[in-house]
Amino acid sequence: MLALSSDIPTWAHRLPAGRKFAALFGASLAIALARSLPVQGAILVAAVALYLSCGPAFARAGLRALRGLAVIAALIGAWHWLMGAPETAALIVLRLLSAVALANFVTMTTRLEEITALVDRALAALRTPAVLRRRLALAIALTIRFVPVLSDKATRLTEAWRARSPRRASFRIVLPMAIMAIDDAEQVAEALRARGGV
Amino acid sequence: MERSIALIALFAALIGALALLPGLTLGFGVPITAQTLGVMLCGTVLGARKGALAVLLYLLLIAIGLPIAANGGAGLGVFARPSVGYLVGFPVGAFVIGLVSSRFANPMGFWPATLAALVGGLVVINVFGIIGMWIKLDVTLPVAIGYAAPFMPGDVIKAVAAGAITAALWKARPGLAAQRG
Amino acid sequence: MTAPPRLRVDLTDVALARDGRPVFEGLSLTLTERRVGVIGRNGAGKSQLSRLIAGLVRPDRGEVRVDGIDVARDRRAAIRSVGILFQNPDHQIIFPTVDEELAFGLTSLGLTRAEARARVTATLARFGRQDWAGRNVQTLSQGQRHLLCLMAVLAMEPATILLDEPFAGLDLATELMLNAILSALPQRLIHVTHDLGALAGYDRVVWLDAGRIVGDGAPAAVIAAYRAEMAERARHAGTEF
Amino acid sequence: MTAPPRLRVDLTDVALARDGRPVFEGLSLTLTERRVGVIGRNGAGKSQLSRLIAGLVRPDRGEVRVDGIDVARDRRAAIRSVGILFQNPDHQIIFPTVDEELAFGLTSLGLTRAEARARVTATLARFGRQDWAGRNVQTLSQGQRHLLCLMAVLAMEPATILLDEPFAGLDLATELMLNAILSALPQRLIHVTHDLGALAGYDRVVWLDAGRIVGDGAPAAVIAAYRAEMAERARHAGTEF
Ligand SMILES: Nc1ncnc2c1ncn2[C@@H]1O[C@H](COP(=O)(O)OP(=O)(O)OP(=O)(O)O)[C@@H](O)[C@H]1O
Ligand SMILES: Nc1ncnc2c1ncn2[C@@H]1O[C@H](COP(=O)(O)OP(=O)(O)OP(=O)(O)O)[C@@H](O)[C@H]1O
Ligand SMILES: O=C(O)CCCC[C@@H]1SC[C@@H]2NC(=O)N[C@@H]21
Ligand SMILES: [Mg+2]
Ligand SMILES: [Mg+2]
């Protein structure tokens, strides 16, 4: 499925989602508040250890998810270094990497259903009416369905373009795509109503 | 109601689909992306309330792990990146766009939609983005404003595109105007 | 009050416009047969008729009742009595996984989560698709998606099932299989299609044209008249199409 | 260099994967007939084959040539030699008016605006649709949109036309009319379809299954074998589908 969650089963997958999110919240707070380099360094080491504890394949997948950020972090660090603030540079890079790495870790080890269930429980605890929660669950599910459907439509129109032109498809396919997508949404709304709606 | 939910979900997905188009990431860690076009369309087509809801839904889905942030980013980690200010600004921007365009007799016309997209998309979102980079990157405010400058030409183009697409959609599906809100 | 009439679809003097253009202007129709086919040209109004009978759209004038229920107003009762299968499964599948898709209609009926889960399992078992539990719908083939939509409708156990060209674009084997499932169903079927062969064993065929009924009766007679008329129109297509 | 072979489609040891799953692994096929049908189950690879022949996708291995042109690489020549009609006109029509839609392919061929306009007028006249000039595509019916797509392809005068289930969901009169237009065309047709009756007068039928050719030859023989196999599979559907 379209999601960051990893298929490789690990010990962290078995932890309750609520506890993982609470721990992440605590860790994020610590990362934001601590101004000491050794503390930040220790946090990053702990994050790396977490990934490694889940096996090499999982750690590689985690690294892949971080690759783009690592480049950015390096550039930001270099910039601050050149501006004569190596201390700040190290702090920013460490913070960025640990915060994103830990958050990704939680996301990778929690299945989508568990997270949506957690959101639902949290809203219930906040006394959100059941009707609203059902609507939200529905909206989440629909969006997950629509992303691949949209990219499929985009592919089809791009091919229809390329079948009649040697040049690359231009922004002109955006309008027919938008119209098609809106018509689809109307159809889906009807299918929803046919089975009880909201 | 079903129709509103389907449209809100569709536009949330649309922002996600646009975010996946390859963008150019600038040195300080914020990419030039087509996402903003999606956010602008939320405001111009769905109106203030539904537009903002669609953007919030998009953010929620990033948070729960769908790879639909810029460059396929996913999960809570996305909110720890230097671009977090922009993400926070997205729903506010969509809301403002909806409000501004509603002040016109023909909210889905080209000029009202473009103007609203400029106000909410160019101004509001970038203000949030600048504050985000100011805090996140530990730079002075003028430097943060300097960082945001390269996005402006692209964001102007996106606002005009949002206006044109909205007007064309309105012509093709006049019924859309009635559901704004 | 008298008992509600069973197994009847009643349209009484129905008018409906879409985007200001009239589709039906005073259509009346009563269906009591178990197998009814609906045929007609593109744009004749077949899909709008299905939407009316499923209660998805409210007539501008007149009334639509299925087994005595005003399907456009009493939605709670309507989803128990009518199910609808659209042409494109991608317009109908709402959820990313098979279970969620099947459970959705059941929880709308008021079943608890646990009851819904049990009924989902039973439905999958009935079609020998136990292994689909938890499966991502993206990984299903086209034919499998059609079957999923059909299962989602059947799980809700409606007395009437509307089929709006459910099998366009399916391969022969899948079509034969789904047709075998359909013809074994005890429910009443109202089947909109361009595949005239599919209506052979039906009890009645209704031919719609421009929102009016122009043919109605035993399949053989109505379909023969329809074929003749279509061949005639195709001949004049150069000027009239 | 020798003259390019005329009226030939050559696939040589073609491999293609989608999302990491192989669709073709070493497919070779040469087509020289004027009317070729392609049949097979959902997911057999018919649409991927069409995309290869139209040059919309580059094979991972091997070569696809149409009349000697490497269609995936030489796009400029390819759009002159192959046209493709998809199943759903809504996936194909890009522009808001009939003229723009027809002119698009022509200007890509290098015609000037004036030349393109003249050819658009001529194409509309050829089908007796002069009154469509300037018309908004939204106002066309489903059948009319199919015809528009066909005209857009024909205006480009390709030697080969690929049809990927072009007529699913059309009414009988429209289908008869479009079939009459198609059979009168001088071009080579490669027609992917589940409507086996449509291939009756063809020169050759190719039956694809799981990316391999399992039947090839005169329509009557291949189609009869296909029907038998599909009926067989439908019988075992409970366990295998
Ligand atoms: N969403 C819509 N907006 C405006 N008009 C519509 C809409 N849907 C259908 N119509 C019009 O209503 C009429 C009946 O359309 P309908 O879809 O019921 O035809 P149909 O018989 O199902 O045709 P097909 O065989 O092509 O499915 C047509 O004239 C069509 O143009
Ligand atoms: N966009 C895609 N991404 C991944 N796999 C795909 C994609 N399109 C097709 N496939 C796979 O390629 C194979 C061949 O598909 P293809 O669309 O060519 O089948 P087909 O013969 O045209 O079927 P149908 O009769 O349903 O149109 C299938 O197994 C399908 O799952
Ligand atoms: O990480 C994300 O997903 C958010 C990226 C935000 C990029 C912002 S949006 C406004 C401005 N215009 C651009 O093209 N990029 C930035
Ligand atoms: Mg219809
Ligand atoms: Mg196909």
Q: How do residues B153-162 score in pLDDT, each as one tens digit? A: 999 999 999 9
pLDDT tens, residue by residue, B55-104: 999 999 888 877 788 877 777 778 888 889 999 999 999 999 999 999 99
Distance from the Cα of D137 to chain B's closest Cα (Å) equals 10
Helix (H, G, I), strand (E, B) or coil at C162: strand
C221 touches chain D (CB under 8 A): no
Point out the ligand nearest to the CA of residue A149.
Answer: 2
- Given this model, what pLDDT does residue D239 score? 43
Whole-angstrom Cα distance, residue A72 to residue A87? 18
- Given this model, what pLDDT does residue D237 score? 63
pLDDT of residue D175 exceeding 60: yes
pTM of the prediction? 0.82
Question: Domain of C193?
Answer: 9-240
Chain C neighbours, 3+ Cβ pairs < 8 A: A, D
Is A66 or C83 the better-scoring residue by pLDDT? Answer: C83
pLDDT of residue C3 exceeding 50: no
What is the value of ipTM here, to two decimals?
A: 0.82
Distance from the Cα of B172 to chain D's closest Cα (Å) equals 7
CATH number (domain holding residue D116): 3.40.50.300
Whole-angstrom Cα distance, residue A50 to residue B135? 28
- The response to whether residue D211 sits with its C-beta less than 6 Å from ligand 2 reads no
pLDDT of residue C192 exceeding 90: yes
For residue C2, tell me if it sits in a domain.
Answer: no
pLDDT of residue C206 exceeding 60: yes
> Residue D84 — φ and ψ, nearest 5°?
-135, 140
Contact assessment for residue D192 and residue D38, using Cβ atoms and an 8 Å cutoff: yes
For residue D72, tell me if it sits in a domain.
Answer: yes
Q: Which of residues 57-96 of A touch B (CB under 8 A)?
A: 65, 68-69, 71-73, 75-76, 79-80, 88, 91-92, 96
pLDDT tens, residue by residue, D216-237: 999 999 999 999 999 888 887 6
- Given this model, what pLDDT does residue B28 score? 72
Cα of first residue to Cα of last residue in chain C, in angstroms, is 51
Contact assessment for residue A93 and residue A73, using Cβ atoms and an 8 Å cutoff: yes
Point out the ligand nearest to the CA of residue C27.
Answer: 1
Whole-angstrom Cα distance, residue A182 to residue B172? 11
For residue C105, tell me if it sits in a domain.
Answer: yes
Lookup: tokens for D58: 């580059």
Pocket of ligand 3 (CB under 6 A): B 30-33, 35-36, 69-70, 73, 78, 81, 83, 86-87, 125, 129, 151, 154-155
Strand order in the sheet with C204-209: C82-85, C160-164, C188-192, C35-40, C204-209, C212-217
Point out the ligand nearest to the CA of residue D169.
Answer: 1
For ligand 5, the distance from its centroid to the CA atom of residue B111, given in whole angstroms, is 42
The answer to whether the Cβ–Cβ distance between D138 and B172 falls below 8 Å is yes
> Residue D215 — φ and ψ, nearest 5°?
-150, 145
Distance from the Cα of D127 to chain C's closest Cα (Å) equals 7
The answer to whether the Cβ–Cβ distance between A138 and C109 falls below 8 Å is no
Q: Give whole-number Cα distances, A71 to A68, A106, B28, B77, in Å.
A: 6, 22, 10, 15
Lookup: tokens for C157: 């156990």
- Given this model, what pLDDT does residue A120 score? 82
- Nearest atom, ligand 1, residue C48 CA: 18
For ligand 4, the distance from its centroid to the CA atom of residue C42, given in whole angstroms, is 7
Q: Give the alpha-carbon dihedral of A31, A35, A41, A45, to 10 degrees.
A: -20
Helix, strand, coil percent content, chain D, rounded in steps of 5: 40, 25, 30
Whole-angstrom Cα distance, residue D71 to residue D88? 23
For residue D4, tell me if it sits in a domain.
Answer: no
- Given this model, what pLDDT does residue A153 score? 83
pLDDT of residue D23 exceeding 80: yes
Highest mean pLDDT among C94-98, C157-161, C175-179: C157-161
Lowest mean pLDDT among C111-115, C163-167, C215-219, D141-145: D141-145
Lowest mean pLDDT among A115-119, B87-91, D115-119, D145-149: A115-119
pLDDT tens, residue by residue, C33-79: 999 999 999 889 998 999 999 999 999 999 999 999 999 999 888 98
- For ligand 3, atom 16, the nearest C-alpha belongs to B32
Whole-angstrom Cα distance, residue A186 to residue B179? 12
pLDDT of residue D106 exceeding 80: yes
CA-based torsion, D70, D76, D82, D85: positive or negative: positive
Pairing mode of beta strands D61-66, D9-18: antiparallel
Contact assessment for residue C38 and residue C54, using Cβ atoms and an 8 Å cutoff: no
> What is the helix (H) or strand (E) element at residue A59, kind and residue range?
helix A56-82
- The response to whether residue D168 sits with its C-beta less than 6 Å from ligand 2 reads no
Distance from the Cα of D206 to chain C's closest Cα (Å) equals 15
Whole-angstrom Cα distance, residue C7 to residue D91? 40
Report chain A residues whose CB lies below 8 A from the CB of C116: none
Contact assessment for residue D30 and residue D8, using Cβ atoms and an 8 Å cutoff: yes
> What is the helix (H) or strand (E) element at residue D133, kind and residue range?
none
Query: Mean pLDDT of all residues in chain A?
Result: 82
Pocket residue to mutate for ligand 3, from B28, B33, B40, most atoms within 8 A of Cβ? B33
pLDDT of residue A143 exceeding 60: yes
Task: Print the SS3 string covering A105-132.
Answer: HHHHCCCHHHHHHHHHHHHHHCCCCHHH
Q: Which amino acid is at C87?
A: Q
pLDDT tens, residue by residue, D133-152: 888 887 787 778 888 998 99
The answer to whether the Cβ–Cβ distance between C79 and A144 falls below 8 Å is no
- Given this model, what pLDDT does residue D82 score? 94
Q: Which amino acid is at B167?
A: A
Contact assessment for residue C147 and residue C175, using Cβ atoms and an 8 Å cutoff: no
- Given this model, what pLDDT does residue C82 score? 93
For ligand 2, the distance from its centroid to the CA atom of residue D44, given in whole angstroms, is 7
Report chain B residues whose CB lies below 8 A from the CB of D96: 168, 172
For residue C54, tell me if it sits in a domain.
Answer: yes
For ligand 5, the distance from its centroid to the CA atom of residue D211, given in whole angstroms, is 12
pLDDT of residue A17 exceeding 80: yes
Chain B neighbours, 3+ Cβ pairs < 8 A: A, D
Strand order in the sheet with D188-192: D82-85, D160-164, D188-192, D35-40, D204-209, D212-217
For residue C166, tell me if it sits in a domain.
Answer: yes
Report chain C residues whose CB lies below 8 A from the CB of A192: 94
The answer to whether the Cβ–Cβ distance between C94 and A144 falls below 8 Å is no
Cβ pairs A/B, distance under 8 A: 176
> What is the helix (H) or strand (E) element at residue D62, kind and residue range?
strand D61-66
Percent of chain B with pLDDT over 70: 98
B21 touches chain A (CB under 8 A): no
- Given this model, what pLDDT does residue C1 score? 44
pLDDT of residue B38 exceeding 80: yes
- Using alpha carbons only, give the angle D90, D93, D95 rounded to the nearest 5 degrees: 130
User: Exposure of A36 by Cβ count < 10 A (0-12 exposed, 13-18 middle, 19+ buried)?
Assistant: exposed
- Nearest atom, ligand 2, residue D165 CA: 27
- Non-local (6+) Cβ contacts of D172 within 8 A are C194, C196, C226, C227, C230, C231, C234
pLDDT of residue C5 exceeding 60: no
Q: Where are the beta strands (DSSP E) in C149-196?
A: 160-164, 188-192
Helix (H, G, I), strand (E, B) or coil at C217: strand
Closest among D71, D106, D101 to D89, alpha carbons compared: D101
For ligand 2, the distance from its centroid to the CA atom of residue C142, given in whole angstroms, is 9
Whole-angstrom Cα distance, residue B154 to residue D11? 44
For ligand 5, the distance from its centroid to the CA atom of residue D90, given in whole angstroms, is 16
- Using alpha carbons only, give the angle D241, D13, D71 rounded to the nearest 5 degrees: 100
Query: Mean pLDDT of all residues in chain B?
Result: 89
Is B64 or D192 the better-scoring residue by pLDDT? Answer: D192
For residue C203, tell me if it sits in a domain.
Answer: yes
pLDDT of residue D55 exceeding 90: yes
Domain tally for chain D? 1
The residue-averaged pLDDT of C173-178 equals 84
Lookup: tokens for A168: 């690359």
- Given this model, what pLDDT does residue C99 score? 86
Distance from the Cα of A132 to chain C's closest Cα (Å) equals 14
Whole-angstrom Cα distance, residue B102 to residue D103? 38
Q: Which of residues 115-174 of D touch B (CB under 8 A)?
A: 138
| Chain centre to alpha carbon of residue B39 | 2
For residue D1, tell me if it sits in a domain.
Answer: no
Whole-angstrom Cα distance, residue C23 to residue C33? 25
Q: Which of residues 11-70 of D touch A (CB under 8 A)?
A: 51, 54, 56
Lowest mean pLDDT among A140-144, A171-175, C150-154, D89-93: A171-175
Lookup: tokens for C191: 């089947």
Q: Which residue has the tokens 């729960």?
A: B64
